[in-house]
Amino acid sequence: MGKKAKVALAIAAASAAVWAGSKAVAKPQKRQVKELLQGKPFIFAHRGGAHLAPEHTLLAFDKAAELGVDGFYVDLRLTKDEEIIAFTDETLERTSTAIGFVKDFTLAELQEINFGEKFEDLEGHKPFVNEHVTVVTLQKLFETYPDKKFILNIQDNPDTYEGSLIPSKLWRIIEEFNLAPQMIVTSPYQEQIDRFNLYAQNQIVLGANEGEATKAYTSFTSQFGHLFNPKVDVFTIPTKSALIAFDSTKFIQFLNGLNVAIFFKEVNDLVAMSRLLRTGSQGIVTDRPDLAQPILLKYKDE
């Protein structure tokens, strides 16, 4: 046997020994299952049902509520006067003809802008060009839909002034409305989830997005999945990202075995929704809640 072959065998043997040793002593810490994640699967309207009405407006949330969704997926940002609003982007351009950063506008100023003028319906028409469709505050959503569940996605970067304030403000408004059992709080930034939980103290379902899910998937596909200890209760993620298939049945089972739920985001096809729920997903976040009607009816009485 050549020298290189001997070295390769030695490395393989050492790796196997490390794996066996870690397998023997490691005990993955399962998440404690929160009440919200028990029971039937959920259908959440993404930004209120963004393909049916202007996203993050009362028009969208009202339409999705009429369709009977279990709850709403809502992106959150802080205004100049420190109001939490339902809004995705850092700037205004994508959803209106106004220009500028959300953080530089007060709530009153934002409510003067028509956020429906760029919306196109399923036929390609722009029905709200001449109407006045405004942003909505999180407080207004809680007042209007106290019976709904919410996935609240903190969009402000933790390194900004707005980002430093929003975790505590979010916790206070949830407390004020006594809606903690109906909330899932997530963010693209793990630091924001950690900051929020300093106030929530594990009373609320914690979520994470694609970055943390990628770490989990990497651990799962390695020989050291048994070392993975989740920090959150649920992942809200797309079915695929780059070369990663998050909708792999084995990956879903891996997370479910750790009491981590998966909600697949922006699934706008009934066949795909049904398949994902059959393979272990606990929820669907969709821009087309109208297409989810058969699923909503199926689980209505459960």
- Tell me the per-residue pLDDT of 88-111, one tens digit each, with 9 for 90 and over: 999 999 999 999 999 999 999 999
pTM attached to this predicted model: 0.89
* Cα dist from 99 to 38, 84, 94, 206, 235, whole Å: 43, 20, 9, 33, 33
Residues in the chain: 302
Query: In this predicted model, what pLDDT tens digit does every residue of 174-186 receive, in sequence order?
Result: 999 999 999 999 9
SS3 240: strand
- For 254, phi then psi, to 5°, come to -60, -45
- In angstroms, the Cα distances linking 292 to 67, 239, 252, 260 are 9, 17, 21, 23
Residues with Cβ within 8 Å of residue 148, at least 6 apart in sequence: 65, 69, 70, 71, 72, 182
Q: In a 3-state reduction of DSSP, which class is residue 127?
A: coil
Secondary structure letter of residue 1 according to DSSP: -
Give the separation between CA 34 and CA 300, rounded to whole angstroms. 21
Any idea where the domains of the chain sit in the sequence? Answer: 31-89+135-298
Residue-wise pLDDT for 278-293, tens only, equals: 999 999 999 999 999 9
Would you say 156 and 77 are in contact if contact means Cβ atoms under 8 Å apart?
Answer: yes
| Fold (topology level) of 31-89+135-298 | TIM Barrel (3.20.20)
- C-alpha span between 76 and 172 (Å, rounded): 15
Q: Which residues share a beta bridge with 77?
A: 85
CA distance 76 to 73: 10
Determine contact, residues 203/109, Cβ cutoff 8 Å: no
37 phi and psi angles, rounded to 5 deg = -90, 5
pLDDT along the chain (302 residues), means of 10: 48 40 52 87 96 97 97 98 98 96 98 96 94 96 98 98 98 98 96 96 92 90 78 94 92 94 96 96 97 89 59
pLDDT for the residue 28: 59
Helices of type H across the chain: 3-25, 58-66, 107-110, 138-144, 161-177, 190-200, 210-221, 249-256, 270-278, 293-298
Is residue 262 classed as helix, strand or coil in its secondary structure? strand
- Closest to 115 (Cα-Cα) out of 187, 50, 44: 50
